[in-house]
Amino acid sequence: MAAPQDAHTDIPHPLLRKPVRDIASGTEGTLMAVLMENTANVGQPEHWAEIAYIRPVGGGRELSTAVANIQATR
């Protein structure tokens, strides 16, 4: 399968630059980006998914999670 046309480019999202929570880990922070990425393991068929990147409150390394796992806070 060929990469989607928008692979590895920013995808618009209504919560960009807003406070969010990753429901999978409980991490809270700012949604910095949403990208379409191939999430398949090496040697497996491609599996494209929208991945959200959250910068934790107070800074630090951004956490990646499925877009379906984010919710607005505050």
Q: Give CA–CA dist 43/64, Å, rounded.
A: 22
Q: What is the pLDDT of residue 38?
A: 87
Tokens of residue 71, six digits = 């919710």
Which pTM was predicted? 0.84
Q: Which long-range contacts (CB under 8 A, 24 or more apart) does 44-51 make?
A: 45/1, 46/1, 46/3, 48/1, 48/3, 48/4, 48/7, 50/11
Q: What is the pLDDT of residue 9?
A: 74
For 11-54, the pLDDT digits (tens) are: 999 999 999 999 999 999 999 999 999 888 999 998 889 999 99
Q: Inform me whether the pLDDT recorded for 1 exceeds 60.
A: no
